């Protein structure tokens, strides 16, 4: 990105040097070096988002932003339904409620080392991963509707994990106003065998160790210490969420045309939140969020089973589970007034600060755990949400490193088998069903996650708590 087009508000927050008359402000969070690694398409896309009806405040990008469909990945925008605010499938993404479940363990990495290879093999056998891979759970439409309504609570009721997990899952494991009737039969058919599966692409299950603590007080509240083994499970709503996104791009495009909404980009197909089509998409999207929450709950249960088979002394507790492809109705202070807004976060994580009523008691003083995922050979971070007065991005933060090159570009630079062997020499075990997929997700294909985490902190979005290093990674 040509940062000559930008004006620096702070060293970690930027806007257009020459804004368009009548178009709301945009803000790009990140350091100058990070912004320079971004495609110019990111700037074009967030400028288009700022032109959508009912926007409140600025349209924003996080420090890990890169080009996406409609909204940039790492895009954040809030809309007011009372002012004709819209909802856009392109502002949520195809993998609805893709997110990370982080589990802390009672294990130290020294005790893990002799059994790491066996654990990696067991996890790879137990966790269904890969394109089209199905699990043992097969659900007919009536039972799948219960998943779409119940989320992780449905999974717990079926014996996957415990009620104690739910306190540490956003929305208590179930979002309200899900409407399975708005989910197509094709979407449900695609999900029939995919509950409890990891998927492919950038999804993973990673065994990690805490290498460094930045904030001892927050780390204590999160139950983290140096040398501790943790597990991160990164996945979403699988085929169902993707089909919901595909279906509603058509529905919302027709609605925009019918209602006379002028789209700056056809990929930003949208409808007013209060319109019939807007309500239909909200019902389907919330159902897909519940699908993802249930999916990660089942995967956490399978992970515990795999650990028990190799390390019977292991105990795995949920640290937190948070999504990063959603649109949520939330109350935020804007110009001194509390307003109920619909916050699109596409490739961005919710990051509520201390005292937020939705957080469990142990996190009330620290703020919400925020998880920035790495990519196989790179570090990941756990951060804590900042007070609302400090985070001006509607309580949002980065969700990962963010791609620095396309998958096709990555395939030209790396070969999967060689990459897996090289990481093994670094002590990082990769188990994958696709060497091509591993090459597409090579660590070098992503931005420097250390710079992203630092920029997230310095921009006031969230503060670093712990750095995690990968030990074993399960990929599709």
Cite the active site residues: 399
* CA atoms of 203 and 206, how far apart (whole Å): 10
C-alpha 298/C-alpha 169 separation (Å) is 13
Q: What is the DSSP pairing of strand 316-323 with strand 99-108?
A: antiparallel
As given in the structure block, the two tokens for residue 58 are 């600025």
DSSP 353-394: -TT-TTS-GGGTTT--EEEEB--SSS-EEEEEEPPTTT-TTT
Distance from CA of residue 47 to its chain's centroid?
23
The position carrying tokens 């006379």 is: 260
Instruction: Say if strands 6-10 and 348-350 run parallel, antiparallel, or are unpaired.
Output: unpaired
The DSSP annotation for 225-290 comes to -TTEEEEEEEE--HHHHHHHHHHHHHHHHHHHHHTT---SSGGG-EEETTSHHHHHHHHHHHHHHH
Whether 473 and 208 have beta carbons less than 8 Å apart is answered as no
Q: CA angle 253-255-49, nearest 5°?
A: 55
């Amino acid at each position: 990105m040509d940062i000559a087009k930008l004006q620096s508000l702070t060293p970690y927050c930027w806007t257009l040097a020459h804004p368009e008359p009548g178009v709301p402000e945009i803000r790009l969070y990140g350091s100058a070096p990070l912004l320079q690694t971004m495609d110019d398409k990111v700037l074009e896309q967030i400028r288009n988002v700022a032109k959508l009806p009912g926007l409140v405040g600025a349209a924003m990008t996080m420090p890990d932003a890169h080009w996406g469909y409609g909204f940039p990945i790492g895009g954040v925008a809030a809309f007011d339904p009372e002012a004709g605010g819209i909802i856009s499938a392109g502002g949520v993404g195809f993998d609805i409620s893709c997110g990370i479940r982080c589990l802390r363990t009672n294990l130290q990495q020294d005790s893990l080392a002799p059994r790491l290879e066996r654990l990696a093999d067991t996890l790879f056998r137990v966790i269904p991963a890969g394109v089209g891979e199905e699990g043992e759970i097969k659900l007919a439409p009536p039972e799948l509707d219960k998943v779409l309504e119940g989320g992780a609570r449905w999974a717990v009721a079926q014996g996957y994990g415990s009620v104690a997990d739910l306190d540490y899952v956003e929305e208590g494991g179930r979002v309200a106003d899900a409407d399975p009737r708005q989910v197509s039969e094709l979407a449900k058919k695609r999900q029939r065998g995919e509950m409890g599966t990891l998927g492919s692409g950038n999804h993973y299950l990673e065994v990690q160790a805490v290498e460094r603590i930045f904030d001892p007080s927050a780390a204590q509240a999160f139950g983290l210490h140096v040398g501790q083994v943790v597990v991160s499970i990164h996945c979403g709503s699988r085929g169902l969420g993707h089909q919901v996104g595909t279906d509603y791009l058509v529905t919302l495009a027709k609605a925009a045309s019918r209602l006379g909404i002028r789209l700056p980009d056809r990929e930003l197909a949208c409808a007013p939140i209060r319109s019939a089509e807007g309500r239909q998409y909200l019902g389907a999207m919330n159902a897909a969020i519940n699908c993802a929450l249930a999916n990660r709950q089942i995967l956490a249960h399978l992970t515990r089973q795999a650990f028990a088979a190799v390390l019977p002394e292991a105990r795995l507790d949920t640290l937190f589970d948070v999504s990063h492809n959603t649109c949520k109705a939330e109350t935020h202070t804007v110009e001194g007034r509390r307003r109920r807004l619909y916050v699109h976060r596409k490739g961005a994580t919710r990051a509520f600060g201390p005292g937020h009523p939705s957080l469990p008691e142990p996190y009330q003083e620290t703020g919400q755990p925020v998880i920035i995922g790495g990519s196989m050979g790179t570090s990941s971070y756990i951060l804590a949400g900042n007070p609302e007065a400090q985070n001006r991005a509607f309580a949002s933060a980065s969700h990962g490193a963010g791609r620095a090159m396309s998958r096709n570009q990555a395939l030209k630079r790396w070969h999967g088998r060689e990459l897996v062997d090289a990481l093994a020499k670094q002590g990082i075990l990769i188990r994958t069903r696709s060497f091509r997929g591993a090459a597409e997700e090579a660590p070098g294909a992503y931005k420097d996650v250390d710079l992203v985490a630092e920029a997230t902190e310095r921009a006031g979005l969230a503060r670093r708590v712990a750095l995690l290093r990968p030990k074993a990674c399960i990929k599709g």
